[in-house]
Structure 1
Amino acid sequence: MSETHTANPEMAELWNGPGARSWITAQALLDEAFRGFETLLADMAAEAGARSVLDVGCGTGATTRAIAGRIAPEGTALGFDLSAPMIEHAQKLADQEDSPARFLAGDAQTHDFPAASFDLIVSRFGVMFFSDPVGAFANLRRAAKPGAALAMISWRAISENPFMTVAERAAAPLLPDLPKRGGGPGQFAFADQGHVHSILDEAGWTGVSSEPVDMMCTFPASALDTYLSLMGPVGHLLAKSDDALRERVMSAIREGFSEYISGPDIQFTAACWLTRATA
Structure 2
Amino acid sequence: MALDNDDDTDFVKFWNTVLEPKFTQYRHILQGGLSRHSAAVIPKLPIAEGMAVLDVGCGWGDMSLQVAEMVGPTGRVVGIDCVDAFLEEGRKDAAAAGLSNVTFSRGDAEVALPENQFDYVVARFGTMFFTNPVAALRRMRLALKPGGQMTHIVWRRREDNPAWQEAKNIALRHLPAPGADADTCGPGPFSMGNEETAGIMMKSAGYVDVSFTRVDEKILVGRTPEESIAFALAIGPGGEVFREAGEELAEAKRPEIEREMRDYFESLETDIDGIWAPTSSWVISGRNPA
- Number of the residue aligned with 1:269: 278
Q: Give, in angstroms, the shift of residue 190 of structure 1.
A: 0.6
Percent identical across equivalent pairs?
25
- Looking at structure 2, the residues matched to 187 and 5 of structure 1 have their Cα atoms a distance apart, in angstroms, of 26
- Give the aligned residue type for 1:215: E
Q: Give, in angstroms, the shift of residue 189 of structure 1.
A: 0.8
5+ residue gaps, structure 2, are: 181-185
Deviations 1:69-115 (A, max 9, x none): 333322222211222332233333333444443211221122241x3
- Looking at structure 1, the residues matched to 33 and 106 of structure 2 have their Cα atoms a distance apart, in angstroms, of 24
TM-score (norm 2): 0.82
Greater displacement, 154-163 / 214-223: 214-223
Q: CA distance change for structure 1 residues 219 and 142 in 2, over 3 Å: closer, same or farther?
A: same
5+ residue gaps, structure 1, are: none
- Looking at structure 2, the residues matched to 50 and 211 of structure 1 have their Cα atoms a distance apart, in angstroms, of 26
The answer to whether residue 165 in structure 2 is matched with residue 173 in structure 1 is no
Q: CA distance change for structure 1 residues 136 and 4 in 2, over 3 Å: closer, same or farther?
A: farther
Q: Give, in angstroms, the shift of residue 241 of structure 1.
A: 3.0
8 Å CA contact retained: 2:55, 2:79: yes
- Looking at structure 2, the residues matched to 135 and 53 of structure 1 have their Cα atoms a distance apart, in angstroms, of 20
Q: Give, in angstroms, the shift of residue 179 of structure 1.
A: 6.3
- Looking at structure 2, the residues matched to 80 and 206 of structure 1 have their Cα atoms a distance apart, in angstroms, of 24
Greater displacement, 202-211 / 117-126: 202-211
- Give the aligned residue type for 1:192: N
Deviations 1:37-90 (A, max 9, x none): 232343135754462111111122221122223333222222112223322333
- Number of the residue aligned with 1:211: 213
Instruction: Give secondary structure in 1 for the equivalent of 2:127.
Output: coil
- Number of the residue aligned with 1:221: 223
- Looking at structure 2, the residues matched to 273 and 99 of structure 1 have their Cα atoms a distance apart, in angstroms, of 29
Greater displacement, 189-198 / 38-47: 38-47
- Number of the residue aligned with 2:247: 241
Deviations 1:226-249 (A, max 9, x none): 422421243345565366644443
Q: CA distance change for structure 1 residues 86 and 177 in 2, over 3 Å: closer, same or farther?
A: same
The answer to whether residue 40 in structure 2 is matched with residue 34 in structure 1 is no
Instruction: Give secondary structure in 1 for the equivalent of 2:12.
Output: helix
TM-score (norm 1): 0.85
Instruction: Give secondary structure in 2 for the equivalent of 1:186.
Output: coil
- Number of the residue aligned with 1:108: 109
Q: CA distance change for structure 1 residues 45 and 5 in 2, over 3 Å: closer, same or farther?
A: farther
8 Å CA contact retained: 1:228, 1:250: no
Q: Give, in angstroms, the shift of residue 269 of structure 1.
A: 2.0
Instruction: Give secondary structure in 2 for the equivalent of 1:107.
Output: coil
Count of matched residue pairs: 274
- Looking at structure 2, the residues matched to 37 and 166 of structure 1 have their Cα atoms a distance apart, in angstroms, of 21
Deviations 1:155-201 (A, max 9, x none): 11111211112222223233234569xxx722111112222222222
The answer to whether residue 56 in structure 2 is matched with residue 56 in structure 1 is yes
8 Å CA contact retained: 1:5, 1:107: no
8 Å CA contact retained: 1:45, 1:67: no
- Looking at structure 2, the residues matched to 86 and 56 of structure 1 have their Cα atoms a distance apart, in angstroms, of 13
- Give the aligned residue type for 1:241: E
- Number of the residue aligned with 1:197: 199
Instruction: Give secondary structure in 2 for the equivalent of 1:131.
Output: coil
8 Å CA contact retained: 1:219, 1:266: yes
The answer to whether residue 16 in structure 2 is matched with residue 16 in structure 1 is yes
- Number of the residue aligned with 1:259: 267
- Looking at structure 2, the residues matched to 111 and 65 of structure 1 have their Cα atoms a distance apart, in angstroms, of 23
- Looking at structure 2, the residues matched to 70 and 4 of structure 1 have their Cα atoms a distance apart, in angstroms, of 37
